[in-house]
Amino acid sequence: MRMFGRDTELKDLAALVDGPGDRSGILIEGEPGIGKSALVDEAVAAAAIAGLRALRTAGAETEHGLAYAGLQRLLYPLRRGFDALPARQFDALSAALGTSETDGEPSLHLVALAALTLLSDTAAERPLLVVAEDVHWLDPASAEVLAFVARRIDSEPVAVLATLRAGTSSPLRAAGLTLLPLGPLSDDDAAALLGSVARDLPDPVRRRVLAEAHGNPLALTELPTAAADLTDPTSTLPLTERLERAFSARGAALPGRTRAALLVAALDDGDSIIEILSAAKVLLGSEVDAEILEPAVTARLIDIDAGTVTFRHPLIRSALASAAPPVNAGARTGRSPDRSPTSRIGRCGTVRREPTEPTKRWPPRSRRRPSGPSIGVARSPRWNGPRPSATTPRGARIACCAPPNWPSTTAAGTGPNSWSAPRTHSPSPPRRTPPRTGCSAGSRTECAKVLRVSAS
């Protein structure tokens, strides 16, 4: 694979593998698809040339609850060296990795000491590069052990290289590793990368992909595939499954009510917090204030500023809208539900603002700072704290586009996966009030009814 840009980062990584005893390591932090693994691969290749042995592990969502699963993956190639460990460390490590009959929980401290001894002894023969990818998904015990090791290898020929998604946490953050925040590619590098993967894109689509991708290499490589069949360059770009998964994952971990408000924000073409809160109120059937969005700010999905809600990446917005449960209109027509944000909005009538430029839609409308006036809600230039307004026509319209089984399943759920698995009804969904009379199926006719009611 040809790398575009990243000269500074590659220099830092080259320095790390050239002198693994000089510092404990590097923690690369960045949004999904920004190129963390690509840099790791470059570092591992450089390490091989420099004569280092690389040991690798990676956090996996499915193994987050399995204690020491990440450590097991890292140390498995060294299992023949376990016998040389001091007896108590051997017992603890064997118990942790399930290679002994020992009952009971091993001491985390002893397991960490064993890992440190093993890695240091191995590195005495040949310097080591310890790679831990996606450490936000590592099981907590493995993450603690790696952090313990990272804090003690300054003088050893061992370097740690870890990756972490932005907005997530891990004990590796406080382990003395040098933080390497990975931002978007420069405009030139992004254009060069896009040119290398999709040479013949029509110019409007090319510009659209560049604007939507925001310098994210995954988006630059995946969006052209999704855009291949696009006949109307102004319509919403469909996401590939990988993009949708990457950018919606953090939304799934939020509280149900926050997810509901976030879905409303994703479906809304505007950014007024007052509008979003009023739509969330309709959707949830109860009063809401700005605190409902706080977890999404903490998770670095959105920013709230001066009365507006801004998604930190356009793809977060698209992915959240796409990953939410589909509007169920297909059940009536016999067609399968369409998950695209375009169809979701289109089915409910126009939730978009009145266009200020009626014909020219290129360059694409910014998803961040729309300029048109808000519909039905007075805009406040300075918003200072919670101020949910009464239901507005526009709020009702936005809420109407949300799936009909909200909030009874998804929005009310608190489990991490209820964002993506809302279609089975929970045993006894606690519905507070019937919030959206007239738009239970999200159909155009029923939404129109809501609009007439709320406009009167």
Ligand X SMILES: Nc1ncnc2c1ncn2[C@@H]1O[C@H](COP(=O)(O)OP(=O)(O)OP(=O)(O)O)[C@@H](O)[C@H]1O
DSSP 172: G
Number of residues counted as binding ligand X (CB under 6 A): 20
Interface region with ligand X, contact rule CB under 6 A, candidates 30-38, 65-73, 204-212, 392-400:
30-38
**325 in contact with ligand X (CB under 6 A):** no
Q: For residues 36 and 394, which CB has a smaller minimum distance to Mg ion in the complex?
A: 36
| Partner interacting with residue 233 (select from Mg ion, ligand X, none; CB below 5-8 Å by kind) | none
Strand partners, 57: 132
**Residue window 139-168: x/- pattern of binding to ligand X, with contact defined by CB under 6 A:** --------------------------x---
Residue among 346, 437, 42 nearest 217 (CA): 42
Binding test (CB under 6 A) with ligand X, winner from 246, 261, 267, 283 = 246
Report in angstroms the alpha-carbon separations of 252 from 262, 327, 415, 426.
Answer: 11, 18, 8, 17
Binding test (CB under 6 A) with ligand X, winner from 3, 191, 304, 453 = 3
Q: For residues 173 and 353, which CB has a smaller minimum distance to ligand X in the complex?
A: 173
Gap between the Cα atoms of 264 and 279, Å rounded: 7
Number of neighbouring beta carbons within 10 Å of residue 81: 15
- Kindly state the helix (H) or strand (E) to which residue 246 belongs, with its residue range: helix 241-252
**Shortest Cβ 271–ligand X spacing (Å):** 26
Q: For residues 60 and 211, which CB has a smaller minimum distance to ligand X in the complex?
A: 60
**38 in contact with ligand X (CB under 6 A):** yes
3-state secondary structure of 201: coil
Q: For residues 135 and 246, which CB has a smaller minimum distance to ligand X in the complex?
A: 246
Report in angstroms the alpha-carbon separations of 63 from 36, 66, 70, 139, 415.
Answer: 21, 5, 8, 7, 17
Gap between the Cα atoms of 101 and 83, Å rounded: 16
Binding test (CB under 6 A) with ligand X, winner from 13, 16, 27, 34 = 34
- Kindly state the helix (H) or strand (E) to which residue 27 belongs, with its residue range: strand 25-30
**Residue window 107-136: x/- pattern of binding to ligand X, with contact defined by CB under 6 A:** ---------------------------x--
Binding test (CB under 6 A) with ligand X, winner from 130, 193, 284, 451 = 193
Residue whose Cβ sits closest to ligand X: 35
**Shortest Cβ 215–Mg ion spacing (Å):** 16
**Residue window 22-41: x/- pattern of binding to Mg ion, with contact defined by CB under 5 A:** --------------xx----
CB-based contacts of 410-418 (< 8 A; 24+ apart in sequence): 410/256, 410/259, 410/260, 410/324, 410/325, 411/256, 411/257, 411/259, 411/260, 411/263, 411/283, 411/284, 412/256, 412/257, 413/256, 414/255, 414/256, 416/252, 416/253, 417/252, 418/252, 418/256, 418/259
Q: For residues 263 and 316, which CB has a smaller minimum distance to Mg ion in the complex?
A: 316
Residues that bind ligand X (CB under 6 A): 1, 3-6, 30, 32-38, 134, 165, 193, 217-218, 221, 246
Residues that bind Mg ion (CB under 5 A): 36-37
